Chain A
Amino acid sequence: GENVEQHPSTLSVQEGDSAVIKCTYSDSASNYFPWYKQELGKGPQLIIDIRSNVGEKKDQRIAVTLNKTAKHFSLHITETQPEDSAVYFCAASNGFQKLVFGTGTRLLVSP
């Protein structure tokens, strides 16, 4: 089955810096790669996703890149703000339902 690895487990940046979180997956059949943000005491919330027929997708300060050959995808957050502090999860699936999650990255943005 699918296996998703996520790095780093913790990431500390200064406000205004960029943050990059990387994930690798094992199943070449996976075709959907979402990123979720989880704030303390809440459920995960989708922030951006990408499908396997696209190499990059941007939404304001957030971007995701996908390299199918290397089986890795990354989340890029530019101009970080304190409210970006949260735990971020990557996931992969073949289809949209059976998501396999990475182990999470705790991002801390210091003012």
Chain B
Amino acid sequence: NAGVTQTPKFQVLKTGQSMTLQCAQDMNHEYMSWYRQDPGMGLRLIHYSVGAGITDQGEVPNGYNVSRSTTEDFPLRLLSAAPSQTSVYFCASNGRGGGTEAFFGQGTRLTVV
């Protein structure tokens, strides 16, 4: 079991560029989420999904899109990157397979210049 795998680990973007942060889990979890972590602010929920084909907004969704076509994958898209999106992004999954515990990936450190 790899758990939750995020790619890439590091990325530098120019303002206005687009990219997709990948997240995959092999635990057959129903629920998947994206958080961003900024200094002094903890982790904030961006988007989440309760199952394939179902997504919803979290606390800070603006500037981000998600889709959930399979149980395993939950990519996060930045359509037009802005310096304010410089952050560390974490994907998490939980569900029946893991009970209540949310398992986090190792994170993607994104810098927008």
- A contacts, CB < 8 Å to B: 1, 4, 6, 9, 32, 34, 36, 41-46, 49, 89, 91, 96-104
Quote the shortest CB–CB distance from A77 to chain B (angstroms): 19
Question: Can you spell out 23 A-B residue pairs with CB atoms less than 8 angstroms apart?
Answer: A6-B42, A34-B100, A34-B102, A43-B106, A44-B104, A46-B102, A49-B101, A91-B43, A96-B31, A96-B100, A96-B102, A97-B31, A97-B48, A98-B58, A99-B33, A99-B45, A100-B45, A100-B59, A101-B44, A102-B42, A103-B40, A104-B40, A104-B42
Q: Are A42 and B31 in contact, with the CB atoms below 8 A?
A: no
Residue of B nearest to A45 (CB): B104
Q: How far is B98's CA from A92's CA once the two chains are assembled, in angstroms?
A: 18
Q: Name the residue in B4, B50, B101 with the highest tally of chain A Cβ atoms < 10 Å from its Cβ.
A: B101
Give the residues from 59 to 113 in chain B that come closer than 8 angstroms, CB to CB, to chain A. 59, 90, 92, 94, 100-107
Q: How far is B92's CA from A32's CA once the two chains are assembled, in angstroms?
A: 16
Main DSSP-derived SS at the B contact region: strand
Residue in contact with A96 in the complex, picked from B44, B59, B94, B107, CB distance below 8 Å:
B94
Q: Are A101 and B106 in contact, with the CB atoms below 8 A?
A: no
Q: How far is B45's CA from A49's CA once the two chains are assembled, in angstroms?
A: 19
Q: Are B42 and A103 in contact, with the CB atoms below 8 A?
A: yes
Does B41 sit at the interface, judged by CB under 8 A? yes
Q: B44 to chain A: which residues have CB within 8 Å?
A: 101
Residue of A nearest to B99 (CB): A96
Q: B105 to chain A: which residues have CB within 8 Å?
A: 43
Beyond A41-B106, A104-B40, 8 additional contacts (C-beta under 8 Å) are: A4-B42, A34-B100, A34-B101, A42-B107, A43-B106, A43-B107, A96-B31, A103-B42
> A46-B101, A96-B94, A98-B58 given as contacts; is B43 within 8 A of A89 (CB)?
yes
Q: Are A98 and B40 in contact, with the CB atoms below 8 A?
A: no
Quote the shortest CB–CB distance from B107 to chain A (angstroms): 5
Q: How far is B100's CA from A104's CA once the two chains are assembled, in angstroms?
A: 21
Q: How far is B106's CA from A23's CA once the two chains are assembled, in angstroms?
A: 25
